[in-house]
Amino acid sequence: MSCLVRYYKMSNITSQPATSYGVQNKPRRVLPYFIQSVNLKYVKLGYHYLITHLLTLCLVPLVAITLIQASQMNYSDINNLYLRLKYNLFSIIIFSTVLVLGSTIYIMTRPRSVYLVDYACYRPPDHLQVKFDRFMEHSRLTGDFDESSLEFQRKILERAGLGEETYVPEAMHHIPPTPSMEAARREAEEVMFGALDNLFKITKIKPKDIGILVVNCSLFNPTPSLSAMIVNKYKLRRNIRSFNLGGMGCSAGVIALDLARDMLQVHRNSYAVVVSTENITQNWYFGNKKSMLIPNCLFRVGGAAVLLSNILSDRWRAKYKLVHIVRTHKGADDKAFQCVYQEQDDNGKTGVSLSKDLMAIAGGALRTNITTMGPLVLPISEQLLFFATLVTRKLFDSKIKPYIPDFKLAFDHFCIHAGGRAVIDELEKNLQLLPLHVEASRMTLHRFGNTSSSSIWYELAYTEAKGRMRKGNRVWQIAFGSGFKCNSAVWKALRNVKPSANSPWEDCIHKYPVQIAA
């Protein structure tokens, strides 16, 4: 229960304005402190510029000296140089051969670029929306929850950051609910086929052109598989490489991207489709164990389909280029392995239990992930500061506060998995982000709820709908999942990206951002 108490406390934190009494008592300290902070800001900014352009600054004098020396050469010096080269033809041929051979080997063996041509997020029909009072009324009428559980769910709904326009599957709108295999299949078909129909429409790609298919859904794994359902629906070709990932939690979307990327390194001139979703129909919890009731309040219907390509000509129409994928798995630790755990309660009712150690484990997984990610994306100035602090802590004083790299220097946009308000708050604090950086995550949680592995795509669609994605911008998608895993994907915008047709935010982006109650 301590996890739940901490969750409530984090949801109720509000900043207290400074009182006039405090300002009047210490008027002389305000201006000097302000000047000091401004000076430090510009000192750090100057340091970053200096280190970033250090190589250029060092090369400028060398180039200048070379040009001066070249300008002082007379005709005889140039003629002597020509004669030396003329009588060393064998050396020139050897050098040219090595250069051409080396260039050929490099071009043939270097990793192929992977492009994100476009993607589509599923927008459920409006009749599947569930307001808070309707959610609570249905929970009460099912007769499965006692008063304590009902009150607990009400508090979670009010404080979790969700709005009243999120969606639950058709089976959950019935009284009593009708969770069945048929209803679960129907939910999966509506979500996956809805996203794929839109994807094929906006990209004008024929289903027969798809060579690789990766589907991830954690809790619903029927036979035939979800990937087979897609192959059957769209009559994909017989030699398609299809994969179905199950039980990998909310971070499975990045895992699916990683698998698709690896396949695109092997198969030339191919298209890969990644479908990320979750299925709620058969995974609603009808018991009274508090740690298993939270997913009922957070998870909602959603899904996304992503088209990837390694065809060079697709670069000119693609939205993004995949830069890095970094995966962290903490499953070797027992606490991490069991912190998100599907099980039965004492009455035999199945649900997903969230451990009291979840936030601490997520923080540890995040630290491991960004330790690997940092050297790949951070400017050298930040890496030097981090390294210097680390050495100082090891050799001199371990009480020195560790330096937290400024990832705002590496990324322009952040797509943090909308797992819940506490998750977003924690990352905002730990990464020292601004409210603008987590706006897409908060608004996605408010409008669509926790759509599991597809939430990072709704967030990217939000950023595009706001017109904020410019050419060269870098995007960090980061997600957490059972196991316990923390996975990251980094994209680079290849152009000024406009929202695709039928964006999930198409008719409501003008209302956002909205004020979320504390």
Local confidence band at 5 (pLDDT 50, 70, 90 cut-offs): very low
Query: Who wins on pLDDT, 265 or 111?
Result: 265
Query: Who wins on pLDDT, 76 or 298?
Result: 298
Local confidence band at 142 (pLDDT 50, 70, 90 cut-offs): confident
Can you tell me which residue has the tokens 């606490």?
A: 335
The arithmetic mean of pLDDT across residues 482-496, rounded, is: 95
Local confidence band at 457 (pLDDT 50, 70, 90 cut-offs): very high
272: left (phi over 0), alpha (psi -120 to 50) or beta: beta
**Pick from 174-178, 197-201, 250-254: least confident:** 174-178
In this prediction, residue 11 carries a pLDDT of 39
The answer to whether residues 487 and 365 touch, using CB atoms and an 8 Å cutoff, is: no
Distance CA 192, CA 404 (A): 40
Query: Who wins on pLDDT, 43 or 21?
Result: 43
Helix ranges (H only) for 53-160 are 54-71, 75-86, 89-109, 132-142, 147-159
Q: Which DSSP string corresponds to 294-316? A: HHHHHB---EEEEEEE--GGGGG
Tens of pLDDT, residues 289-323: 999 999 999 999 999 999 999 999 999 999 999 99
Q: Cis peptide before 90, with omega less than 30 degrees from 0?
A: no
User: Is residue 336 pLDDT above 70, yes or no?
Assistant: yes
Q: Which DSSP string corresponds to 164-210? A: S--B--GGGGSSS----HHHHHHHHHHHHHHHHHHHHHHH---GGGE
Other CB atoms closer than 10 Å to residue 407's CB: what's the count? 19
User: Is residue 3 pLDDT above 90, yes or no?
Assistant: no
Local confidence band at 30 (pLDDT 50, 70, 90 cut-offs): very low
Distance CA 254, CA 328 (A): 11
The arithmetic mean of pLDDT across residues 50-69, rounded, is: 68
The arithmetic mean of pLDDT across residues 107-114, rounded, is: 78
**Helical pair 132-142 and 147-159, crossing angle rounded to 10 deg:** 160
In this prediction, residue 72 carries a pLDDT of 65
Residue 321 forms beta bridges with which residues?
115, 492
Provide the pairing of β-strand 210-216 with 115-121. Answer: unpaired
The percent of residues in the chain predicted with pLDDT above 70, rounded, is: 82
Show the tokens assigned to 174: 């019935």
Torsion of CA 168, 173, 174, 176, to 10 degrees: 70
Tens of pLDDT, residues 218-274: 999 999 999 999 999 999 999 999 999 999 999 999 999 999 999 999 998 999 999
- Pick the most confident of 77-91, 312-326, 368-382: 312-326
In this prediction, residue 87 carries a pLDDT of 59
487: left (phi over 0), alpha (psi -120 to 50) or beta: beta
Q: How far from 91 is each of 95, 102, 285, CA to CA, in Å?
A: 6, 16, 76
Provide the pairing of β-strand 115-121 with 320-329. Answer: antiparallel
Show the tokens assigned to 404: 């937290």
In this prediction, residue 26 carries a pLDDT of 41
Mean pLDDT, the chain, rounded, equals 85
Opening angle at CA 29, ends 27 and 35, nearest 5 = 120
User: Is residue 482 pLDDT above 50, yes or no?
Assistant: yes
Distance CA 230, CA 167 (A): 23
The arithmetic mean of pLDDT across residues 55-68, rounded, is: 71
Local confidence band at 52 (pLDDT 50, 70, 90 cut-offs): low
In this prediction, residue 103 carries a pLDDT of 77
User: Is residue 53 pLDDT above 90, yes or no?
Assistant: no
Local confidence band at 66 (pLDDT 50, 70, 90 cut-offs): confident
CA 441 to chain centre: 10
Q: Which strand (E) or helix (H) includes residue 338? A: helix 334-338
In this prediction, residue 109 carries a pLDDT of 66
Q: What 3 state SS string does 376-422 have?
A: HHCCHHHHHHHHHHHHHHHHCCCCCCCCCCCHHHCCCEEEECCCCHH
* Residues annotated catalytic, as ranges: 250, 329, 413, 417, 446, 450
In this prediction, residue 94 carries a pLDDT of 79
Residue 214 forms beta bridges with which residues?
243, 274
Distance CA 388, CA 80 (A): 51
Local confidence band at 2 (pLDDT 50, 70, 90 cut-offs): very low
Distance CA 389, CA 279 (A): 45
The arithmetic mean of pLDDT across residues 400-416, rounded, is: 86
Local confidence band at 9 (pLDDT 50, 70, 90 cut-offs): very low
In this prediction, residue 16 carries a pLDDT of 38
Tens of pLDDT, residues 203-212: 999 999 999 9
Tens of pLDDT, residues 82-105: 666 665 666 777 777 888 887 777
The arithmetic mean of pLDDT across residues 380-404, rounded, is: 74
Distance CA 189, CA 507 (A): 24
Distance CA 296, CA 306 (A): 27
Q: Which DSSP string corresponds to 223-258? A: SS-HHHHHHHHHT--TT-EEEEE-S-GGGHHHHHHH
The answer to whether residues 213 and 230 touch, using CB atoms and an 8 Å cutoff, is: yes
Q: Tally DSSP H helices, then E strands, for the chain.
A: 18, 11
Distance CA 252, CA 272 (A): 16
